[in-house]
């Protein structure tokens, strides 16, 4: 098969094309592809991207990238296909075969010509075949075709990035200068954590560090790890269009780790944390030329990670941690692990800095008052009594465990629902482009009933829900999304304006992550101003009596921060 296509490709398709082209010259990588796609008929539908790489590597498919030249300045956009049999009879189709969502809304047509039908059809078939050969052999004056190695060298996939206004570039250079400072700081230290507020460009900063280390030939192996397949997929989308390494994935339904191990030269692996140990052992011989990037590094200090990763990360020469909230409150062991394995905090750019510089938007804060029910208070007394009884019996129990159990009672109290419903009825506009965070699916169902009564178009995004729900919200098909923990980290939907915090942990970490979901500036809404709705018990009298009030004081103070730079 020969294919001529525009450089406007999906990131995963472009990555697969590059891997297939590399494998033509790399026997080890070619064998890894053969092993992975050993049953082509079975895997073609479930692994289309891997199949694309395999076909290129085996020279079953040759691709050329076409750009318009001469008097043309638009895209290469013809729709033409030719099929031939062993006797050189041919079928030609010409016209639209748009299988995108937009195609289902268009008026489309398709012409088909058969070389054996009659003289007229045969003439049209030959005409289209001649046209294709002119394109393929670079005879057409309006189109220039490049083979894959040349297209990669010329970076043709980048030709059609939209040009930004020069004034906007100056503004970006000024507002985002902290990224330059963070990059230079890491290159000087070689390991450490960048504490940067959500929305201030942690990923972009890390990509620049990767580029500088690989371009300077200091690193040829990069491992990027974190929790959450959604965030890993976002990284992949950024990497395949802006990275000079071969990119492999080992998370969710992607199983490209064997190809990563088999590959040579510059290579990068996106890997979920629970798969990380097996790949750290594969780079032991090249530790001095390896960079590991730990995104949302606060999760790196969980007890499970401490047990499985101790001593495996620190031997790597370059270790980068990223987080808006790198410190684990009430978990000194986890903090010590992060510092020992990844490094100390070497750079800070916090929420206040970002709002003042205009990178994050200003926000309003509303606190709805509630009081625990008698049943809630009885449950808290029971929790406290049980805690002290366990301690008196000699069992080792932490105060943090006590506070966590008490906090859970507050997170699921139905006493928050009445003030919420009153606010929902009086201020329905604050539930447009909103995220509502609840503790459990069961509690979320109570909230959902109120949203239905108010006519709010909402969806849910709990563990096990389809990612399509998130896409529907991002695309504006849903006004509101109800979720538990899955949206706390990493998801970048700039149109989110409002968040509701039914569930707020005692530690600041979770609240800061959730706050970051609504404070990102939106290029489609320059006047965006966010809103945070919280629930506060000002008269609580249990062992965590300061939690609500401390959060209230902190968020109220933060909401007073104003943009200072223009």
Chain-centroid distance of CA 245 in Å reads: 19
Does residue 203 sit in the same domain as residue 331? Answer: yes
Helix (H, G, I), strand (E, B) or coil at 134: helix
In degrees and rounded to multiples of 5, residue 84 shows phi and psi of -125, 150
Looking at the fold, whether 74 and 131 belong to one and the same domain comes out as yes
Q: Are residues 154 and 206 in the same domain?
A: no
pLDDT at 82: 92
- Helix (H) / strand (E) element for 148: namely helix 148-153
> What's the rounded Cα separation, in Å, for the pair 8 and 147?
15
pLDDT at 115: 92
**354 is a domain residue:** no
Asked if residue 410 and residue 310 are part of one domain, the reply reads: no
Contact 394, 440 (CB under 8 A): no
- CA-CA distance, 455 to 142, in Å (whole number)? 54
Cβ(306)–Cβ(333) under 8 Å?
Answer: yes
Tell me: do 269 and 226 sit in the same domain.
yes
Half-sphere exposure (CA, 13 Å, Cβ side) for 148?
22
Please check whether residue 355 lies inside any domain of the structure: no
Q: What is the pLDDT of residues 449-487, one digit of tens each?
A: 999 999 998 999 887 777 778 888 888 888 899 998 655
Instruction: Identify whether residues 322 and 460 lie together within a single domain.
Output: no
Read off the tokens for 178: 């902290």
Dihedrals φ, ψ of 147, to 5°?
-75, 170
Chain mean position to CA 276: 18
152 and 171, same structural domain? Answer: no
Residues 308, 393, single domain; the answer is: no
Q: From edge to edge, which strands make up the β-sheet containing 110-114?
A: 80-84, 90-95, 110-114
Same domain for 378 and 305: no
Among residues 158, 187, 220, which one ends one of the domains? 158
Of 357, 305, 347, the C-alpha closest to 326 is 347
In a domain, 499, yes or no: yes
**Contacts with 125 (C-beta within 8 Å, 6 or more apart), sequence order:** 82, 90, 91, 92, 113, 114, 115
For the record, the structure tokens of 278 come out as 């097996």
Give the whole-angstrom CA distance, residue 331 versus residue 464. Answer: 29
- The count of structural domains within the chain is 3
Q: CATH code at 243?
A: 3.40.50.300
* CA dihedral of 440, 441, 444, 446, whole degrees rounded to 10: -110
Alpha-carbon dihedral of residues 372, 378, 384, 386, nearest 10 degrees?
-150
Give domain status of residue 356, yes or no.
no
Contact (Cβ atoms closer than 8 angstroms) between residue 213 and residue 186: no
Q: State the pLDDT at residue 371.
A: 93
Among candidate residues 421, 415, 300, the one with its CA nearest the CA of residue 369: 415
Residues 147 and 184 in one domain: no
Q: State residue 95's pLDDT score.
A: 78
List the structure tokens of 327.
């410190």
Cα dihedral value 435, 436, 438, 443, nearest 10 = -130
Same domain? For 64 and 179 the reply is: no
Does 105 fall in a domain? Answer: yes
Q: Which uninterrupted H or E stretch holds 145?
A: strand 143-147
- H or E stretch at 82: strand 80-84
123 vs 130: CA distance, rounded Å: 11
**φ and ψ of 146, to 5 deg:** -125, 140
> What number of other Cβ atoms are within 10 A of residue 24's Cβ?
15
pLDDT confidence of residue 103: 53
Helices (H) and strands (E) in the chain, counts: 22, 20
Residue after which a domain boundary falls, among 158, 188, 221: 158
**Last residue in a domain, options 140, 158, 176:** 158
Report the interhelical angle of 27-36 vs 48-57 (nearest 10°): 140
Token pair for residue 83?
């099929």
For 423-453, what is each residue's pLDDT tens digit?
A: 999 999 999 999 999 999 999 999 999 999 9
Residue spans of the chain under pLDDT 50: 158-172, 488, 490, 543-544
**Inside any domain, residue 477:** yes
Whether residues 431 and 298 share a domain: the answer is: no
Q: CB-hemisphere CA count at 13 Å for 494?
A: 13
Six-digit token pair at 419?
């003030």
Per the structure, the complete domain to which residue 417 belongs is given by 361-559
- Cα end-to-end distance, the chain, whole Å: 55
Burial of 384 (0-12, 13-18, 19+ CB in 10 A): middle
Looking at the domain assignment, is residue 147 inside a domain?
Answer: yes
What is the pLDDT at residue 295? 93
Half-sphere exposure of 425 (CA within 13 A, CB side): 8
435 assigned to some structural domain: yes
């Amino acid at each position: 098969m020969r294919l001529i296509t525009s450089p406007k490709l999906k990131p995963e398709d472009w990555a697969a094309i590059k891997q297939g082209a590399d494998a033509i010259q790399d026997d080890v990588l070619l064998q890894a592809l053969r092993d992975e796609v050993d049953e082509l008929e079975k895997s073609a539908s479930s692994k289309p991207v891997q199949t694309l790489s395999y076909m290129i590597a085996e020279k079953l498919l040759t691709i050329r990238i076409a750009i318009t030249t001469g008097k043309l300045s638009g895209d290469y956009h013809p729709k033409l296909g030719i099929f031939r049999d062993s006797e050189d009879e041919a079928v030609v189709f010409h016209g639209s075969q748009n299988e995108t969502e937009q195609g289902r809304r268009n008026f489309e047509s398709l012409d088909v010509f058969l070389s054996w039908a009659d003289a007229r059809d045969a003439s049209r078939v030959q005409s289209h075949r001649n046209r294709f050969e002119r394109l393929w052999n670079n005879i057409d004056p309006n189109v220039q075709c490049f083979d894959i190695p040349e297209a990669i060298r010329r970076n043709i996939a980048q030709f059609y990035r939209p040009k930004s206004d020069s004034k906007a570039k100056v503004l970006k250079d000024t507002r985002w200068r902290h990224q330059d400072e963070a990059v230079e700081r890491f290159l000087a230290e070689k390991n450490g954590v960048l504490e940067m507020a959500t929305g201030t460009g942690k990923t972009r900063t890390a990509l620049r560090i990767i580029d500088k280390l690989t371009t300077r030939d200091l690193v040829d192996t990069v491992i990027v790890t974190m929790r959450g397949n959604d965030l890993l997929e976002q990284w992949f989308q950024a990497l395949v269009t802006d990275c000079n390494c071969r990119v492999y994935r080992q998370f969710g339904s992607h199983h490209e780790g064997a190809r990563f191990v088999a590959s040579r030269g510059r290579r990068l692996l996106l890997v979920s944390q629970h798969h990380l140990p097996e790949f750290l052992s594969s780079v032991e011989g090249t530790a001095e030329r390896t960079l590991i990037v730990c995104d949302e590094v606060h999760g790196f200090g969980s007890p499970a990670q401490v047990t499985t990763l101790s001593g495996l990360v620190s031997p790597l020469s370059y270790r980068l941690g990223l987080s808006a909230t790198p410190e684990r409150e009430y978990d000194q062991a986890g903090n010590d692990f992060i510092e020992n394995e990844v490094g100390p905090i070497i750079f800070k750019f916090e929420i206040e800095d970002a709002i003042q510089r205009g990178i994050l938007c200003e926000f309003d804060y509303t606190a709805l008052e509630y009081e625990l029910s008698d049943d809630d208070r009885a449950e808290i007394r029971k929790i406290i009594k049980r805690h002290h009884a366990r301690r008196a019996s000699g069992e080792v129990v932490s105060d943090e465990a006590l506070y966590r159990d008490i906090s859970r009672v507050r997170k699921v109290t139905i006493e928050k629902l009445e003030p919420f419903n009153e606010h929902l009825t009086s201020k329905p506009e604050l539930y447009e482009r909103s995220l509502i965070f609840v503790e459990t699916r069961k509690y979320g169902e109570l909230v959902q009933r109120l949203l239905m009564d108010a006519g709010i178009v909402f969806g849910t995004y709990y563990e096990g829900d389809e990612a399509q729900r998130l896409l529907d919200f991002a695309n504006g098909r849903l006004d509101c999304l109800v979720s538990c923990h899955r949206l706390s980290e990493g998801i970048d939907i700039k149109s989110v304006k409002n968040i509701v915090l039914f569930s707020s942990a005692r530690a600041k970490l979770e609240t800061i992550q959730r706050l970051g979901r609504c404070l990102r500036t939106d290029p489609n809404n320059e006047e965006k101003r966010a809103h945070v709705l919280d629930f506060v018990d000002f008269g609580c009298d249990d062992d965590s009596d300061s939690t609500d009030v401390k959060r209230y004081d902190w968020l109220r103070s933060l909401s007073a921060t104003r943009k200072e730079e223009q």
